[in-house]
Chain A
Amino acid sequence: MTEANRKAEAGQIVGTIAKVAGPLIVATGMADVQMYDVVRVSEKRLIGEIIELRGDRASIQVYEETAGLGPGEPVYSTGEPLSVELAPGLIESIFDGIQRPLEVIYEQEGDRITRGVDVPKLDRKKKWEFVPVAQVGDALSGGDVLGTVQETPAVVQKIMLPPTLSGTVEWIYKGEATIEEPIAKIKKADGTVVEVPMLQRWPVRRPRPYREKIAPSEPMITGQRVIDTLFPIAKGGVAAVPGPFGSGKTVVQHQLAKWADADIIVYVGCGERGNEMTDVLMEFPELKDPRTGLPLMKRTVLIANTSDMPVAAREASIYTGITIAEYFRDMGYKVAIMADSTSRWAEALREMSGRLEEMPGEEGYPAYLSSRLAEFYERAGYVHCIGADGRTGAISAIGAVSPPGGDTSEPVSQGTLRIVKVFWGLSASLAYKRHFPAIDWLQSYSLYHDKIDDYFSKHVASDWTELVGKTMQVLQEESELEEIVRLVGVDALGYKDRLTLECARSIREDYLHQNAFHEVDTYTSPEKQHGMLSTILTWYQKGLDALDADVPFSRVAGMKILEQIGRMKYIPEADFPQRLAEIRSQLDAEYIALTEGGSLDA
């Protein structure tokens, strides 16, 4: 810790506690502080943030349990807004909502999170190998790359000039350094020289700057068939996953964190179960990234503010997460951030609002709920980063929403749906049938289709768009036919309609259903997705032709190849092209036999 920091951390006594009500504290004598400054409360030095100022009375939301505090105790100011530390050491770490490293706290304090614990957010002692890129004499501005650090085998951190700084490089370092040691000296325009360490601080509530936003145009491949095929998300896109409990929101989020083709994953567990974070912590180091072959943990940052941890820190956790995501975006990475669940974040907002005795909006939520949601999601996007090399970076944001009773007419769902472009609506009835992922194909949508179908047509198969359209059509027809069946029975349908029902069933069971816990089925490449889907639809198309040629319906619906089609999802990627060719030729052969046999029967 530098001297300046220590001073700031120690702070000046500025105020005195007047009132304590749960996580909200009111202090007097606070005329000199600014809104959203961080303060330390009482001799226990609990971390708090100023959220309201009236005269010299400040309302402070405290990020730790306030039991045992009382009027008369001191409040110290730090003079700084709530900030995150950005430097090598972020990847593979697990932080709480205000970026305290939980692993370090565990080693130091044991299995409970004690109050007022003071540990540096990032490791101050670890030495990183700094490789300079900039040279002495270079004129640099904010965002330009000074050098790089190989943080994990999967991630090279670009050490950038802080966005607010520009000048000429006077000196640059090469070799091992801690994050606080200077790695460059920059002479500013006014002639002063500043030492730049790798460590940067950034206030969490302020978006990091970029040059300009651009419209997303390439898909983020997730390996989840229902998502990539029917409701794809773009790199830099925003999506929401609402669903009642037990519909698999968290599994969807985990699957995306595992298999999405992003360079960096920031996973924010916001007011959710502790065991889910443990699951990620234990599973991710074991799982391999399908693209790099390295453990998934080598590209992951975890923020965990579980439901039993203090509620105010839950409010901050979302901002901490997105600021870290922006830092990696600024290096030119494609980042994906998962927030599970934004409803818990909104509840934290509601709780603080209630304690501030603000006039409530709908269902007790504060009136500014939807603007806060919009602010958060708008920090995602595909951008031209600042810095001279013209790199681009992206943040894709995926927020889970937990609507009470699964009813999406409530304020958090509605506030979210107005902003996001992709909606993966989870349905309880699919979940009861153990159809996972329980993404309801009739209710969900993606507004990125136009922009990224081109990509699939160009890179995967030219008939991609057509197949997707056909699939949606069959599923749509199924829902209409089902209604007829419910009224008058399946016998009332013509054979072609019954074949459509069979095809829809195959699409649902053999294609859209995907087992996240099966070693092969958990990830499907777009090429395999195309192979599977086109086989099902080819069977359907040929079946329609066969019916025209008077082949009995039962023969088409009872074809032997169907069992193999049903098992295509379990074929490993490496064997797939060959097996696909076999299945296709068997399919053709069986149809030839059928139509010949069929005409004999007739």
Chain B
Amino acid sequence: MRKEYKTIREVVGPLMLVEGVEGVKYDELVEIEQANGELRLGKVLEINQDKAMVQLFEGSQGLRIADSKARFLGHGIQLAVSGDMLGRVFDGMGRPIDNGPAIIPEKHLDINGSPMNPAARDYPAEFIQTGVSAIDGLNTLVRGQKLPVFSGSGLPHAQLAAQIARQAKVRGSNEPFAVVFAAIGITFEEADFFISDFRRTGAIERAVLFMNLANDPAVERISTPRMAITCAEYLAYELGMHVLVILTDITNYAEALREVSAARKEVPGRRGYPGYLYTDLASLYERAGRIKGKPGSITQIPILSMPEDDKTHPIPDLTGYITEGQIMLSRELLRKGVTPPIDVLPSLSRLKDKGIGKGKTREDHADTMNQLFSAYARGKDAKELAVILGEAALSDTDKMYAKFATEFERRYVSQGYDTNRSIEETLQIGWDLLSILPRSELKRIRDEYLDKYLPTRPAEEV
């Protein structure tokens, strides 16, 4: 029988102080039992002699200091995992909420994981076809990558994430595939959108959902993504599945972290976020990847909404430094009716170079990608100039580039949420668009590919 302490001295925000404790360890899980038998969970944040500072996971509302008891459980916070989790819905702490039977655990795993040895990592290099041209063609996703979607309030990141979850596949392979979805402080409606989309497409059968909604306790959000990733690790590395993890919305996670940090009166870094925000986010994102000799993989698509669409805000900023690129959504494109409104210029996939080319997508992929990028950038510049000075002020070349940029947004990027394009279709649209420009402008493409792929006549306007 574990010792119970009735020496809770303080509850301030999400923090609780227990005195006179013995043998308590750092990061240990704590159970708080109230007089009416209600149980809450917390973990040890700091232990100083006989004083333990505990972070509550479930808020402190209704907690009575006088008659509550604290039990220290002797282990960190764990998730009971099993292959039966597929198709189930859990709350933010990993308890089933879909009225299904309890999970008979195969294993109990510490949700914090442990750092992966860089020497054990296998480099992600397998092309994932998402069916979205702006991603496949220009910002290619590969297995084991962490590629966040940088969005903002009112932008359709949910539609895009659902489209990727629905369409993503590795060509020519039938390996087991699963989606782990973590809702972190999002609204019921947004969560419902994902669940109905998974139901509609049958994806729910191979999905595990962790739900912490906007009205669930904020501090619980610190555990929710870790629950999801721990489950993903089990599916990937023990059961050999290829797992796509969608975490939405990381901004809510970081705010919960800030709340705890502020309650501890820590010295804040930028905008009140704790100085260790980078390290903390890395402990989530870095758990994506592949391991040598293991068949499975974890690909992460975290979604975050940038406050005021500002990508220099600490959350997108630090995320961008950890993740292997980002998909950036643009309000301006959305207004123009481009769906999905992916702004390809500030978007980036760092791992694309290893996932594309001969034997993976097609030999001309890298060259055309570079050419499309630079042509679109120049076209956008030209269009900006035309806005100020009028179309007539553009040189003939710039006029062609301006036309290219318009067509590029219309035909390449804007494809709707239900179109699933193969990589060949994506590349062909790219070549059609490039044929708007004279061949001498296509400096970034090798001659042999120009000879082989460039359409002889400019493509007819659609």
* Contact surface of A with B, Cβ cutoff 8 Å: 18-22, 26, 65-72, 94, 102-103, 105-106, 109-115, 244-246, 269, 271, 273-275, 277-279, 281-282, 304, 306-311, 341, 344, 347-348, 350-351, 354, 360, 363-364, 402, 404-407, 428, 431-435, 485-486, 488-491, 509-510, 515, 517, 562-563, 566-567, 570
Cα of A489 to Cα of B392 in the assembled complex, Å? 9
Q: Contact: B112 with A67, CB < 8 Å?
A: yes
Which partner residue on chain A sits nearest B281 by CB separation? Answer: A307
Contact of A307 among B25, B27, B282 (CB under 8 A): B282
Interface members, chain B 287-306 (any A CB < 8 Å): 287, 289, 291-292, 294
Which partner residue on chain B sits nearest A435 by CB separation? Answer: B374
Q: Contact: B346 with A111, CB < 8 Å?
A: no
With A20-B47, A490-B393 in contact, is A112–B116 under 8 Å at CB?
yes
Closest beta carbon of chain A to B43's beta carbon, Å: 9
Chain A residues within 8 Å of B84, by CB? none
With A21-B46, A434-B373, A566-B443 in contact, is A306–B275 under 8 Å at CB?
no
Q: Contact: A246 with B320, CB < 8 Å?
A: yes
Contact of A71 among B47, B118, B294, B348 (CB under 8 A): B47
Chain A residues within 8 Å of B346, by CB? 246, 428, 432
Q: Contact: B28 with A351, CB < 8 Å?
A: no
**Mask of B344-379 contacts with A, CB within 8 angstroms, 1/0:** 011010110110000000000010001001100110
**Mask of B27-53 contacts with A, CB within 8 angstroms, 1/0:** 110000000000000000111111000
| B286 on interface, CB distance cutoff 8 Å | yes
Cα of A363 to Cα of B116 in the assembled complex, Å? 31
Which partner residue on chain A sits nearest B343 by CB separation? Answer: A432
Q: Contact: A308 with B317, CB < 8 Å?
A: no
Cα of A72 to Cα of B47 in the assembled complex, Å? 11
Chain A residues within 8 Å of B267, by CB? 354, 360, 364
Closest 3 CB pairs of A and B: A405-B312, A307-B282, A111-B120
Chain A residues within 8 Å of B46, by CB? 19-22
Chain B residues within 8 Å of A271, by CB? 278-279, 282
Interface members, chain B 45-81 (any A CB < 8 Å): 45-50, 76
Q: Contact: B320 with A350, CB < 8 Å?
A: no
Cα of A269 to Cα of B353 in the assembled complex, Å? 20
Cα of A213 to Cα of B365 in the assembled complex, Å? 50
Residue of A94, A308, A341 ringed by the most chain B CB atoms within 10 A:
A308
Enumerate 14 A-B pairs (CB-CB under 8 Å) in ascending A order: A70-B25, A111-B291, A111-B292, A274-B121, A277-B121, A279-B123, A306-B282, A311-B276, A347-B278, A354-B275, A433-B345, A434-B374, A435-B374, A489-B385
Cα of A360 to Cα of B351 in the assembled complex, Å? 38
With A354-B275, A404-B312, A433-B345 in contact, is A274–B116 under 8 Å at CB?
yes
Q: Contact: B23 with A364, CB < 8 Å?
A: no
**Mask of B11-36 contacts with A, CB within 8 angstroms, 1/0:** 00000000000011111100000000
Which partner residue on chain A sits nearest B352 by CB separation? Answer: A517
Q: Contact: A275 with B324, CB < 8 Å?
A: yes
Closest beta carbon of chain B to A166's beta carbon, Å: 40
With A246-B325, A360-B267, A433-B377 in contact, is A347–B279 under 8 Å at CB?
yes
Chain A residues within 8 Å of B292, by CB? 111
Contact of B115 among A70, A72, A277, A308 (CB under 8 A): A308
Closest beta carbon of chain B to A111's beta carbon, Å: 4
Chain A residues within 8 Å of B50, by CB? 71
Which partner residue on chain B sits nearest A302 by CB separation? Answer: B118
Q: Contact: A274 with B118, CB < 8 Å?
A: yes
| B326 on interface, CB distance cutoff 8 Å | yes
| B389 on interface, CB distance cutoff 8 Å | yes
| B201 on interface, CB distance cutoff 8 Å | no
* Contact surface of B with A, Cβ cutoff 8 Å: 23-28, 45-50, 76, 112-124, 144, 266-270, 275-276, 278-279, 282-283, 285-287, 289, 291-292, 294, 311-314, 317-318, 320-322, 324-326, 345-346, 348, 350-351, 353-354, 366, 370, 373-374, 377-378, 385, 388-389, 393, 395, 440, 443-444, 446-447
Cα of A273 to Cα of B124 in the assembled complex, Å? 13
Q: Contact: A350 with B269, CB < 8 Å?
A: yes
Which partner residue on chain A sits nearest B293 by CB separation? Answer: A111
Residue of B50, B113, B322 ringed by the most chain A CB atoms within 10 A:
B322
Chain A residues within 8 Å of B282, by CB? 271, 306-308
Residue of B291, B313, B348 ringed by the most chain A CB atoms within 10 A:
B348
Chain B residues within 8 Å of A348, by CB? 279
Closest beta carbon of chain A to B64's beta carbon, Å: 27
Q: Contact: B287 with A246, CB < 8 Å?
A: no
Chain B residues within 8 Å of A347, by CB? 275-276, 278-279
Contact of A517 among B48, B353, B447 (CB under 8 A): B353
Q: Contact: B48 with A18, CB < 8 Å?
A: yes
Chain B residues within 8 Å of A363, by CB? 269-270
Q: Contact: B117 with A105, CB < 8 Å?
A: yes
Q: Contact: A246 with B326, CB < 8 Å?
A: yes
Chain B residues within 8 Å of A71, by CB? 24, 47-50
Given contacts A279-B354, A307-B278, A515-B370, 4 further A-B contacts (CB under 8 A): A68-B26, A306-B116, A306-B118, A360-B267
Q: Contact: A112 with B114, CB < 8 Å?
A: yes
Contact of B25 among A21, A68, A308 (CB under 8 A): A68
Q: Contact: B76 with A67, CB < 8 Å?
A: yes
With A71-B50, A364-B268, A404-B312 in contact, is A344–B116 under 8 Å at CB?
no
Closest beta carbon of chain B to A94's beta carbon, Å: 6
Chain A residues within 8 Å of B123, by CB? 275, 278-279, 282
Cα of A433 to Cα of B317 in the assembled complex, Å? 20
Chain A residues within 8 Å of B324, by CB? 273, 275
Which partner residue on chain B sits nearest A283 by CB separation? Answer: B123
Contact of A110 among B25, B120, B320, B389 (CB under 8 A): B120
Cα of A490 to Cα of B389 in the assembled complex, Å? 10
Residue of B24, B123, B285, B393 ringed by the most chain A CB atoms within 10 A:
B123
Residue of B279, B311, B388 ringed by the most chain A CB atoms within 10 A:
B279
